[in-house]
Structure formats: C-alpha cells, structure tokens
C-alpha cells in the first residue's frame, strides 16, 4: 500500500507501548511481535488514532519541533512503514 498524506492511520488492537530497560517497545504479546521505537516513532504511534491524516500528524510534529521541520515527513513515513511491516496499522 502506498502511503499518501490523506490516509488516516489507526492502531490495530493488541499492540501497546512498553518501556523496558530504558527502551520504548511496541509489543503485540499474542503474536510475539516487538518493534523498537525511538522518541519520534513513539509520538507518531500515539497520534495514529484513525482521526488524523498522515499530513495532520506531520503538521503536529512540525509545530512541536520546528527545528526539525524539514525532516518530519521523512520520519513520519519511516515510522509508518515500520508499523505497517509489523502489521500494526490499518488505514481509513
């Protein structure tokens, strides 16, 4: 699936964030899936509520981190691709 800025990512049930040994992990215990998340990926995951578009998620991050605005869309796309590879998202 090609990610376009108007899609609305939604977290799939069963996945949750957990802090283990100082690292943030996205876990799905029943499926045995584990994905390491940096601070940006953690924020993106939390914003994937099925209500916001990819563009809106990027805009919120650009507003919160104006010094990194030029990198935000690339970071959002990379995080969403990782979440998709882990089968953790659906899209509206």
pTM of the predicted protein model:
0.91
In order of their start, the domains of the chain are 9-87 (1.10.10)
Share above pLDDT 70 across residues of the chain, in percent, rounded to a whole number: 99
Among residues 82, 59, 81, the alpha carbon closest in space to that of 72 is found at: 59
Among residues 78, 66, 7, 6, the alpha carbon closest in space to that of 38 is found at: 78
What is the distance between the alpha carbons of residues 78 and 7, in angstroms, rounded to a whole number?
A: 15
pLDDT at 55 over 90: yes
Mean pLDDT of 65-88: 94
pLDDT at 1 over 80: no
Mean pLDDT of 12-37: 93
């Amino acid at each position: 699936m090609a990610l376009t800025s108007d899609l609305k990512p939604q977290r799939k049930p069963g996945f949750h964030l957990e802090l283990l040994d100082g690292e943030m992990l996205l876990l799905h215990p029943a499926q045995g899936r584990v994905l390491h998340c940096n601070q940006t990926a953690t924020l993106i995951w939390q914003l994937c509520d099925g209500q916001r578009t990819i563009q809106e998620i990027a805009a919120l991050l650009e507003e919160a981190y104006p010094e990194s605005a030029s990198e935000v869309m690339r970071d959002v796309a990379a995080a969403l691709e990782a979440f998709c590879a882990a089968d953790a998202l659906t899209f509206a």
